[in-house]
Structure 1
């Protein structure tokens, strides 16, 4: 649960909401072929449901009152990884800040694998 405090009061936003928001924004970027599994829980969830969840490969945490986003992605073979990562960082930061009003300190993108499609 992420708490946002303003002069109007306190708002609680669930971790699942952030993960789905970030996963959806990252998946829409060119060259991203999917999100990578990062732990056993996500792996088991993807095996049972037989589909990729939006929160797969996403971790959102708070550091010094600002959000830090970790993304584990799979990219399409032959694309410029530096350009894709820059695009993802900009899109995720913009999407989260517009949807929640919270400042994003960092977006860490980890390219775990490549797919040929």
Structure 2
């Protein structure tokens, strides 16, 4: 039984960051999220339980949601394909679960990791 429930849905930025992080980890070519130390200029691969440190969620001037993803990708993958798939996956998940229409998703590739 499904139907429309009247009311509004409020989703926290942390929840949105978690959803975006889990969507990112499912994408081919993405090794993980990165934590960037601005002072040292170093990106560090984050463990799966700290995904939201590599994701910034904010509202834009025009009222849309902006999600910045800082990722580390596998060396040798087509970066434009990874970015396209990642953007699509995050937008799809946020629309399906959080009912967010057309969020702005920006991907920052912070590093490459060689495959073993």
Q: Deviations over 1:31-60 (max 9, x none)?
A: 0011110358xxxxx9xxx83412131111
Normalized per residue, the structure richer in strand is 1
Query: RMSD between aligned alpha carbons?
Result: 2.2
1:110 corresponds in structure 2 to: 108
Where does structure 2 lack aligned partners over 5 or more consecutive residues?
Answer: 39-43
TM-score (norm 2): 0.78
Where does structure 1 lack aligned partners over 5 or more consecutive residues?
Answer: 1-6, 41-45
Q: Retained in 2: the 8 A contact 1:38–1:56?
A: no
Which sits farther off after the overlay, 60-69 or 83-92? 60-69
